Amino acid sequence: MSEKRRDRISEYVREHIRRYREEAGLSQAELAEVLGKSNSNISDIERGRLEISAAELGLIAEALHKPIVYFFPHRTAGKPAEGELSGLEAELIENLRRVPYTAVEEIILRLVKDLAAWTEKDEFQRMAQELMKAGKVLLEKD
């Protein structure tokens, strides 16, 4: 594996540890307490100053109530389990897992959440603006 690919995977893992910790409403200190680590250890992990083992990532995933595959780039995570989702849900997730940039994933998530709450036709303009932002992020990455 190239060093660049290894760095991208490590960055992805770190970003998702932070994201899921924040989604769970936990501070670094609270996660550290659950894991029996120091607050600075969690900070160092999220900033890339401290590497973690697969076992430690498993404990973090467990503490944050997430499957461990959520912490890896989706191209390596595989398809949802048979029967776990409807066909359309599985297709959406399978394709989302192929998106290589976290920033675009976040835009897509906001878009889907907005679509789920869509009640007025004029909200379509806001959706179009989100799609344009996603396109700009992709262009900046290349």
pLDDT, tens only, 36-94: 999 899 999 999 999 999 999 999 999 999 888 888 875 545 555 566 677 777 788 88
pLDDT of the residue at 35: 94
Q: What is the mean pLDDT of residues 17-39?
A: 93
Structure-block tokens of residue 72: 């890896």
Question: Residues 15-40: what's their mean pLDDT?
Answer: 93
Percent of the chain with pLDDT over 90: 33
Torsion of CA 26, 38, 18, 21, to 10 degrees: -20
Q: Using the CB atoms, write b or e for 90-116: b if 16+ within 10 Å.
A: beeeeeebebeeeebbebbeebeeeee
DSSP 7-74: HHHHHHHHHHHHHHHHHTT--HHHHHHHHT--HHHHHHHHHTSS---HHHHHHHHHHTT--GGGGS-G
Place of tokens 């600075």: 40
Q: What is the pLDDT of residue 40?
A: 94
Query: Would you state the structure tokens that stand for residue 57, as one six-digit string?
Result: 């990532």
Task: Specify the pLDDT at position 74.
Answer: 59
Q: What is the set of domains in the chain, with CATH numbers?
A: 3-75 (1.10.260.40), 78-141 (no CATH)
Mean pLDDT (whole number) for 9-14: 89
CA 98 – CA 72 distance, rounded (Å)? 12
pLDDT at 142 over 80: no
When pLDDT is averaged across residues 108-134 and rounded to a whole number, the result is 72
Question: Helices 123-141 and 102-116 sit at what angle, rounded to 10 degrees?
Answer: 170
pLDDT of residue 129: 77
How much is the pLDDT for 67? Answer: 86
User: What pLDDT shows up at residue 96?
Assistant: 81
pLDDT, position 78: 54
The band of 121, judged by pLDDT with boundaries at 50, 70 and 90, is low
